[in-house]
Every structure is written in structure tokens, then in C-alpha cells.
Structure 1
Amino acid sequence: MSAKRRTPGTVLVVDAANVVGTRPDGWWKDRAGAARRLHEQLLVGDTPHDEIVLVLEGGAKAGVRSGRDQHVRTVHAAKDGDSEIERQTAAAVAAGSRVTVITADQFLRARVEGLGAMAMSPSWLLTFLTG
């Protein structure tokens, strides 16, 4: 990771299903492996955020344990990923953080923007991860 200074109080909430779904690399055959690869990229990627919250659902949860690993906190959605993303966003906004949510889901984007977060597309995140 570069020595780029991180802005205090910034949280990036990642809709893992949307991000891995943007790349036709066979993720549908190995959802756990796709989640693990995304997690590894987030660990070494250079985003300007203090914390990254990676939200996993379904079969992807088998790829990464829940909990913190450096600046990445992995959360396993109890039900659907969208509800967990909304819950994580609301908590971070309530704590005073500036929150960016990565998702391609237009309905979810509107919901998190209504909570005070900014929403960006998976391609925006991938530019940080692929250099």
C-alpha cells in the first residue's frame, strides 16, 4: 500500500456481489473464491478511506471470515446483502463518518443516498484496485 494519507472518518461500504459481478471471470462457479480475491484486492488496494466494509451474502460468505483484517472489515449478511449494506451505511453515517457505498443497484443507491452517503459504481472502485 502506498503512503497516501487517508482522510479521517471515511468509510467505504462495498456491495461485494455487485463488484464481483462486473467481471466475467467465472465468479458464478466459485462465489467464495471471488469474494476472497476481492478481499485480497481491498487489502492491498489504495482507496482514500479509513475503513472498508465488505458485505458478503450467500455462498460468498464461505470465502472470507467475518471480522477485521487490517482496514477491511468483512460483514456476513444475515439475510440479504442490500439490507446489511443499508444497516452498515446508517451506522457509519450516524457515527459521523463520510460514507461511500459501492453498488450498481439503482434502488440501493437511492436508499443509501437518502441516509446521507454517496454512491459510486463498481467500476469506480475497480480503478483503485487495478491501478
Structure 2
Amino acid sequence: MNTHEPADGWVEAPDGRRFWGRAGAAGLLVVDEGGRVLLQHRADWSHFGGTWGLPGGARHHDESAVEGALRESGEEAAVPGDALRLLFSSTLDLGFWSYTTVVARALRPFEPVVSDPESIALGWVAADDVADLPLHPGFAASWPRLRAELESEVHVVVDVANVLGSRPDGWWRDRVGATDRLLAVLSRSARAGVAASSLTPDGDESSAGRSAAPASAAGSDARAFADDSATEPPGAPTWRWPTVTAVVEGEARAVGDAFDAVTVVRAETDGDSAVVARVRSLLAAPGPVPRVVVVTADQALADSVRAEGAVVLRPGAFRRAVGLD
């Protein structure tokens, strides 16, 4: 691979292994509405040439993992960044080098285009057929967990009145204003994403966190490796961009509509009934069953949504996750 940017180059581990990207690397896993994933047939001259993996490569020093994955996939496969909705990312962090798999859903159809010499071919592959291909070893290791996560998108439903009521900060003097400020924070957080571990009741994303084994190094020229001490499965989410629904009631229904990243549901009667109805709607929608997280401290409501199949996150933990506390 030719080096063109300051960050293009190898990083050498203490044991002599080499990893591509002085600022780390990132790749993009895109799934379309039919459940197919976009894969890259890697050029024969590349590391693990001839295998299938993800478009991606070395990050620039001044860009995030998401920015790097979108740029690389655009350069290698003409993936339109504005056609994607981010779902989650999974990061392999070795301390001296990292690789991030950014996972997104295509919002509209597009055809990839081989745009540089790093690809033999690009194509949409049915999820059931991915494991039958000769995969890059890093991607092969992470694919089972990545696929499971693709089939269980996260939706957060916020009981706004309960979250506001969890802090005696005078919100009751201006319910609409307090609700507006909370929704603005939720909207920013929905766009920026949150730590995956923050969206579970016990704060543990069933092995989320820093992966000690490859989190899909398929798009880079990193040497595949395994760590016998790994306690977390490769492909485990470290960051999520869940869909967010905010349920408002009473006077707060007068709040504005300028929250593009949040769906605002104005309860016609009581907020609890609207929360339960939203949970039922999400779980009954066609396609894979999502993971629904309800934010509330109301015990009766918590019992009701658990009975529907949701999990419950207390307001304090949620406020910390989105930067309110």
C-alpha cells in the first residue's frame, strides 16, 4: 500500500506485530433494508489479499473513527455518507493502536463502486451467506457478534416527566422550558451517541467495552491475532446511536418541534399509557425484535414495560449517560 497521508504507515507492537495506520484505523459495515451487508473483496497484493472484509483503512490524525470510516468507505466504495444512519461501533484498543468498526444502516439504496486498486470487487451479501466466504480473519472473528447486534437495534423511550422530576432544580416553575432544554440535550446525544454500557440497567453491555480480541480488523492491513485472555467477544459494541422517543404530557405538550434526532410523543391522556403504547409499537414492528430501553423511576410503569419485553434504566444513570449530570 502506498503512503499518501502522514498517518499512512505501520505501527509496530512490542512483540513485532505490525498494524496499519499511525492514528489507528476504521472500517464501515453497512446493512441495507433487505439485511444484506456491503463487503469488499480485497486486492491480492494487500494483507490477507483475496479475502472478504470491510471497506476502510488508516484514520487521519485529525479525524474521529466515524469520520475515518466514512471517508475511507467513500474513497474505496463510493458509499454516500448522507445515506447512512449510524447504529453502533466496536473498538479494538491495544493502547498503542486501535481499530473501530462503524456499523450503519442504509437509508436508501445505492450501488458501491470500486474506486481504487484496493478492491477486486464490492458487493451486497446476504447475512446468511457471509460466513461462507473466505473472510479476513479479524472480520471472521467479529462477524457473529456484529450480526447479532444488527438484528437487535436499540430504541430508548424516555419518560420525560419522570426524568425531570428526578432532580429538584425548579423545573416545575417552567415545565415547557425545562422540557425543551431536556429535549435539546437528548437530540444532541442522539446525534453524538452514547457509551454502549450506559444503556443497560446494570451498566454492563454484556461484554461491551474495549475488546481484547479483533473487533473486525477487516478493512485494515493489521495482522489478525487472538488473545487467549480475552474476556469480551470481538464485535461487542462500545458506542451506540439509538433511536430516541421522548414522551411528554400535560403542559409540556406545548414544547416545540425543533428536535430532529428525537421523536416527540405528546400523550393524549397520561404519560405512562403513552410510554407503554410506544413500547408495544416498537416491539410489534416488522423485522428483527429490537431492544427497547425505557427510562423511568416509576415502579408501576417499570413493571408494565418489563411485562411487554422492555428493560428499564433509571433516570440517574441515563442523565449521566447523556451529560445532564
Query: Do they fold alike, i.e. is TM over 0.5?
Result: yes
**TM-score interval, normalised by the smaller of the two chains:** 0.7 to 0.9
TM-score of the superposed pair, with normalisation by structure 1: 0.88
SS in structure 1 at match of 2:269: coil
TM-score of the superposed pair, with normalisation by structure 2: 0.37
2:277 pairs with 1:87: yes
2:316 corresponding residue in structure 1: 123
Q: 1:32 touches 1:62 (CA, 8 Å); kept in 2? A: yes
Alignment length (residue pairs): 127
User: How far apart in 2 are the matches of 1:49 and 1:11?
Assistant: 9
- Structure 1 residue corresponding to 2:186, chosen from 42, 56, 59: 42
Unmatched tracts of structure 2, length 5 or more: 1-63, 67-85, 89-149, 195-239
Q: What amino acid is aligned across from residue 38 of structure 1 in structure 2? A: L
Q: Equivalent pairs: percent with the same residue? A: 37
1:70 corresponding residue in structure 2: 260
1:15 corresponding residue in structure 2: 159
More helix by share: 1
Q: 1:12 touches 1:51 (CA, 8 Å); kept in 2? A: yes
SS in structure 1 at match of 2:87: coil
User: How far apart in 2 are the matches of 1:15 and 1:90?
Assistant: 15
Between the two structures, name the one with larger relative contact order (CA 8 Å, sep ≥ 6): 1
User: How far apart in 2 are the matches of 1:69 and 1:50?
Assistant: 15
Q: 2:183 touches 2:259 (CA, 8 Å); kept in 1? A: no
Unmatched tracts of structure 1, length 5 or more: none
- Give the root-mean-square deviation of aligned CA atoms: 1.9
The structure whose Rg is larger is 2
2:87 corresponding residue in structure 1: 6
